[in-house]
Structure 1
Amino acid sequence: MHSTELLLDAYDRIRESVHAAVADLSADDLATRPAPDANSVGWLVWHLTRVQDDHVADVAGTEQVWSGQGWADRFGLDLPVGDTGYGHDSDQVAKVRVGSPELLTGYYEAVHERTLGYLRGLEAGDLDEVVDENWDPPVTLGARLVSVLADDLQHAGQAAYARGLLRRS
């Protein structure tokens, strides 16, 4: 298996986890927080999707799906259009109400397809390209894509856990 095939498989696993976490939940379920300052399933999936969209668009040199395909308008959140959820406090988390599971998974699918298209165009040598010199050592494309993958899988796992808590209550 080549490195790009490995990345494609790994990003597909995020997709499976996202859909499992959201399946059969209502808009109210998606907004329910398991504790007063905890993140909801909806916020977690929105955030992991926003981070993937932001970071992949950056390395691909493209506009984000969020703004370029009108998802920001469809969601209508009371947040700046460039907001990814990074560093959100409890009040900001509460502002992320995703409307419907279909809206949330629709945005996720659009980002996922854009990500897969980008990954399919990569060659192994591309992963060594430095994409961010603001770190020591500088961040390569491979490291950035693995970082997004790891972050998204963690948040998808958190969403699955929050879903489990919601289903038990």
Structure 2
Amino acid sequence: MATNADMLVDHFGRILEEVDAAVAGLGPAELEARLDDEANSIAWLVWHLTRVQDDHIAEVAGLEQVWTAKGWHEKFGLPFEPAETGYGHSAEEVAAVRGVTAKQLAGYHRAVHDQTVAYVRGLSDEDLDRVIDKNWTPPVTLGVRLVSVIGDDLEHVGQAAFVRGVVERRKG
């Protein structure tokens, strides 16, 4: 019988598959394309969803973020502080996510996925019920935080897939 941790691992695996599909075979022009001047690019969406997952999982797991621990911050060379996740980015900041390859985006996401799954696999139902943030009503449990990350990631990877579809249709 599947545990709650097994189901969470399955969901994170689905995100990984969708990220890979969203960026596979795309070059810089497609990754950086924006549907209008205020819209998010595929590169920004995938970078952001991965940064949020990395940030949130590292925090609850008591680990260093993959972004800094494995040198991804330097590999990407983006003009942001290492702690930046993209939350609240302006249109200009979205446009600054340039020069990143599909291989880098997929590789960083894979590394974050691996750290996420290694952590989540070891969680019990009691762990998932642990309150991790009392600043909300009701207080946020670890399980709720993980589901929130999954929901946010799925929303953003769906947006990336949509942008990819539009960009591909425009090419003919």
Q: Same fold (TM over 0.5)?
A: yes
**How far off its partner does 1:98 sit?**
4.8
One-letter code aligned to 1:96: V
1:77 — aligned with what? 78
Judged with a 3 Å threshold, the aligned counterparts in structure 2 of structure 1 residues 109 and 98 are, in CA distance, closer, same or farther, namely farther
2:56 — aligned with what? 55
**Unmatched 5+ residue regions in structure 2?**
none
Question: Is 1:111 aligned to residue 112 of structure 2?
Answer: yes
The 2-side partners of 1:20 and 1:98 are apart by 19
**SS across alignment from 1:74:** helix
Aligned partners of 2:19 and 2:46 also within 8 Å: yes
Percent identity of paired positions between Structure 1 and Structure 2: 54
Aligned partners of 2:43 and 2:100 also within 8 Å: no
Aligned partners of 1:30 and 1:98 also within 8 Å: no
One-letter code aligned to 1:62: L
The 2-side partners of 1:38 and 1:32 are apart by 9
Question: Is 1:89 aligned to residue 90 of structure 2?
Answer: yes
Q: TM-score, normalised by structure 2?
A: 0.96
**How far off its partner does 1:28 sit?**
2.1
2:151 — aligned with what? 150
The 1-side partners of 2:145 and 2:100 are apart by 30
Q: TM-score, normalised by structure 1?
A: 0.98
**SS across alignment from 1:53:** helix
**How far off its partner does 1:133 sit?**
1.4
Q: How does 1:1-169 map to 2 (within 5 A)?
A: 1-169=2-170
The 2-side partners of 1:146 and 1:44 are apart by 19
One-letter code aligned to 1:84: T
**Unmatched 5+ residue regions in structure 1?**
none
The 2-side partners of 1:163 and 1:35 are apart by 14
**How far off its partner does 1:154 sit?**
0.3
Please provide the CA RMSD for this pair. Answer: 0.8
Aligned partners of 1:30 and 1:41 also within 8 Å: yes
Matched residues, number: 169
**SS across alignment from 1:96:** coil
**SS across alignment from 2:119:** helix
The 2-side partners of 1:68 and 1:24 are apart by 27
The 2-side partners of 1:38 and 1:68 are apart by 30
Q: Stretches of 4+ moved more than 6 A in 1?
A: none
